[in-house]
């Protein structure tokens, strides 16, 4: 698998990353071990997680699986902090105390003394930026993290932190953002800002939370994410009728190449301008195997343009 440089840093990551949103909850430890083993065998390096993934169990699962396989030196660990699950649901908290406590807990769960990448998960308008930056500076200077990133930030907030972070011993290495044929909000200000500040781009949910696989065209499969209480709300935004034309176009393109709709959707994001790594979210080894089949496949220019137009 191709390794790509992350922005203006010296860090390189695989063109596809392994997302772990479901690990420890919907993906058990045995499947997780197989997923990581297969991903590494395909040349993958980037593992993306967060403190709250899998109801807080994903990081522990990753740490255990890495230990079992003995592959800590072969992976780039990226985790996120700042989104906290509370009694009233999730809340954003990028205070110094919350961030540093979360980092310590993540390192313990992952059985490691450092993260290659640590990202702020959502912009927190309630906390002074200097307080958040002070936490990042402590984490960097202590060696507990190597690079800083942000996830789901608006362009103006990305610009603010990118300008201020060098004064606190760091450089903004990456932005993680949702990007697919059903969500092209990355194109525009975020594209320009990430390029201007030399940030790498990690694209999450290239299959539009599973909708671009085409599985929801006629009904909601009982074993799908949309059929689960904890992920139904995550999928529902893309079950709107206005997306039907794009979903059908992706399916038809797949038929023409002997590929699945999901493989086509992934290929479109993987080779999109500015994208460093595209994050996969398979729940099972079988799902991962299908997606890895297009590691070296590139959509012809005419097909890319047709999908651009229809979406």
**Per-residue pLDDT reduced to its tens digit, 17-45:** 999 999 999 999 999 999 999 999 999 99
Q: What percent of the chain has pLDDT over 90?
A: 82
CA distance 148 to 165: 9
Average pLDDT, the chain: 92
Average pLDDT over residues 64-73: 97
| CATH code for position 286 | 3.20.20.100
Instruction: Give the pLDDT of residue 90.
Output: 83
Average pLDDT over residues 43-53: 97
Nearest Cα to 34, choosing from 295, 296, 292? 292
Instruction: Give the pLDDT of residue 227.
Output: 43
Instruction: Give the pLDDT of residue 226.
Output: 47
Instruction: Give the pLDDT of residue 222.
Output: 65
pLDDT in tens, 207-245: 988 888 877 664 565 655 544 666 666 667 777 778 889
Q: From residue 292, how far is each of 43, 247, 248, 285, 288 by CA, in Å?
A: 10, 21, 22, 10, 6
Q: Give the domain extent around 217.
A: 3-310
In the predicted structure, residue 99 carries a pLDDT above the cut 80: yes
Identify which has the larger pLDDT, 229 or 99. 99
Alpha helices in the chain (DSSP H): 29-41, 58-69, 96-110, 129-141, 155-164, 189-196, 232-235, 244-257, 261-270, 285-292, 301-310
CA distance 16 to 13: 8
In the predicted structure, residue 183 carries a pLDDT above the cut 80: yes
Average pLDDT over residues 258-281: 96
Q: What angle do CA 19, 22, 25 make, to 5 degrees?
A: 150
Q: Which of 5-14, 117-126, 245-254 has the lowest mean pLDDT?
A: 245-254
Average pLDDT over residues 136-152: 97
Taking phi over 0 as left and psi of -120 to 50 as alpha, with beta for the rest, 15 belongs to alpha
Half-sphere exposure of 49 (CA within 13 A, CB side): 31
User: Among residues 53, 153, 216, 243, which one is catalytic?
Assistant: 53
pLDDT in tens, 279-306: 999 999 999 999 999 999 999 999 999 9
Q: Is 179 a catalytic residue?
A: no
Give the chain's domain count. Answer: 1
User: Predicted confidence band at 71 (pLDDT cuts at 50, 70, 90)?
Assistant: very high
- 3-state DSSP assignment of residue 47: strand
In this prediction the pTM is: 0.93
Instruction: Give the pLDDT of residue 101.
Output: 97
Instruction: Give the pLDDT of residue 234.
Output: 67
DSSP 53: G
């Amino acid at each position: 698998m191709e390794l790509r440089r992350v922005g203006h840093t010296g860090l390189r990551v695989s063109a596809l990353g392994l997302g772990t949103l479901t690990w420890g909850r919907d993906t058990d430890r045995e499947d997780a071990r197989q997923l990581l083993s297969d991903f590494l065998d395909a040349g993958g390096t980037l593992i993306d997680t967060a403190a709250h993934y899998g109801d807080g169990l994903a990081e522990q699962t990753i740490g255990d699986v890495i230990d079992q396989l003995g592959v800590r030196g072969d992976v780039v660990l990226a985790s996120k902090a700042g989104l906290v699950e509370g009694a009233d649901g999730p809340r954003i908290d990028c205070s110094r105390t919350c961030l540093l406590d979360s980092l310590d807990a993540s390192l313990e769960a992952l059985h490691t003394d450092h993260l290659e990448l640590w990202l702020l998960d959502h912009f927190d308008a309630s906390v002074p930026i200097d307080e958040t930056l002070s936490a990042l500076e402590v984490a960097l200077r202590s060696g507990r993290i190597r690079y800083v990133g942000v996830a789901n930030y608006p362009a103006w907030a990305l610009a603010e932190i990118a300008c201020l972070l060098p004064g606190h011993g760091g450089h903004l290495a990456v932005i993680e953002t949702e990007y697919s044929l059903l969500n092209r909000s990355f194109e525009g200000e975020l594209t320009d800002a990430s390029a201007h500040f030399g940030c790498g781009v990690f694209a999450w949910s290239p299959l539009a939370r599973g909708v671009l696989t085409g599985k929801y065209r006629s009904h909601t499969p009982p074993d799908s994410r949309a059929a689960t209480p904890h992920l139904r709300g995550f999928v529902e935004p893309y079950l709107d009728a206005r997306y039907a034309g794009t979903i059908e176009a992706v399916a038809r393109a797949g038929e023409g190449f002997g590929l699945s709709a999901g493989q086509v959707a992934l290929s479109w994001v993987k080779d999109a301008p500015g994208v460093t790594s595209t994050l996969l979210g398979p729940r099972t080894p079988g799902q991962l195997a299908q997606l890895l089949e297009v590691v070296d496949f590139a959509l012809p220019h005419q097909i890319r343009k047709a999908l651009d137009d229809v979406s």
